[in-house]
Every structure is written in C-alpha cells, then in structure tokens.
Amino acid sequence: MLHLASLTYGYADAAATPVPVLDIDAFHLPAGRHALLLGPSGSGKSTLLHLLAGILAPQAGRLEVAGTSLPDLTPRQRDNWRGRAIGLLPQQLALVASLNVLDNVLLPAYASGQRADATRAARLLDQLGLGGKLDAYPHALSGGQRQRVAIARAVAMRPRLILADEPTANLDDVACAAVIALLASQAQQAGATLIIASHDARVLAALPDAAVLRLPLMQVAA
C-alpha cells in the first residue's frame, strides 16, 4: 500500500535557504494496515499527509501509494489520481457553505470528473445518522454533524487510502473515541487503509494495533 524511502521535503526560508521538514529513511505499510503519524505541532505531519495525497510533490526519494509512484506523475496526473485513490479529511473540514450536505459529499466526484453516485452518498449519510439532512447546509449543522459529513465525503469514492489530519482536535474523550471508531469502521467498509495524523495520545490508545510513525524523529512501531 505505502512505500517511503529516502523521502525528503523542505521549505525555503526568507533568505531562500532550504529548511528541511521531513527526512524519512524508510517506511512501509501493507494494504489493510492502519497507521498513525504522531508528533507535536510543526513536526511535519500535515506536510507528509499532503505528500501522500499528491498535493505536494516530494523533492527527493521514493513515494509509492497504492501501486502508484507519485514522483513520476505530472501535477494534473496527481490530481486525477487523488480523486480515484485518496479520501482526505482535513483538519479544517472545508465544507462548501453554498452546497447542501449531499452535494458536499459528492464534491470529490465533481472535482475529479468521475460519475457522482448520489445513491451511495445518501446511504453513507444515513449510516452516519444524517439521512434527514441531505438538503441542509453546513451552517445549519452542529460541529459533530459537519465532521460526519466530511467523513462521508472522504469515503464516498471508495478510496484506497483515507488520510485524516488531527480529527480529534478540541474533542472531549467521548467524542474522540466516537470519531476514531467511526473513521476505522468507515475505512473497513470502504476497504481502505487509514492514516491519522495527530498529536493526541488518545488516538494511539484507541488504535493500539496501528503502525506508528513518530515525527520529527523516525521511529516505527510495528
């Protein structure tokens, strides 16, 4: 599913000097295995998620996701690949205020030029307790409901890989456990691998069997 080797990425500072953010010797994740990216804010977790999603291009090294070598793709090819292979749950949920719940879930299909399956989207929303909210707009939803809409959007296209960025930030213990259980169950139903980036120790406790990549230091726990 996931192969990283000699992967590096950095940003230029004000003096145009490269500042390294990620330097990963090796990491391998088999299909069907979940993983956690753990580390403090600023350790490169979101950057790595963006690399895995093809939003950023690696500056050096091997990055293979679901059988595709991302450094070999053009930006347009990465965009098309992302629509087919990746389900993304960003920290800022980024629901579109002018679209209703159903159209927000269908947005990845529209954006990638794929067929929108409204029946599947409606079924997912019903499973997540939002069957009566298809025509509602984000401003009329609670925070928890908006998060469930974003989860439905992330799995609607049956992705090979689901990437979640700090999904438990600012949640109490009960809500934290519920969100992790929901992500894991939806990944299982979609047949997808789940990778969660977090600095929340409760996530590790909730997924004790997940592989762990600790940033900024490279430490892998199988």
Q: Which residues make Cβ contacts (< 8 Å) with residue 139, sequence separation at least 6?
A: 97
Task: Tell me what pLDDT residue 31 has.
Answer: 85
Q: Where are the domains of the chain?
A: 2-94+159-221
Measured in degrees and rounded to the nearest 5, phi and psi for residue 163 equal: -115, 125
β-pair type (193-198, 211-214): unpaired
| pTM attached to this predicted model | 0.87
The closest of 34, 4, 68, 70 to 192, measured between CA atoms, is: 34
Confidence (pLDDT) at 15: 62
Write out residues in the chain with pLDDT < 50, as ranges: 218-222
Fold of 2-94+159-221: Rossmann fold (3.40.50)
pLDDT at residue 18, as a whole number: 64
Q: Say if residues 150 and 138 touch (Cβ distance below 8 Å).
A: no
pLDDT of amino acid 47: 92
| 221 contact partners, CB below 8 Å, separation of at least 6 | 211, 212
Instruction: Report the alpha-carbon distance of residue 210 to residue 213 in Å, rounded.
Output: 10
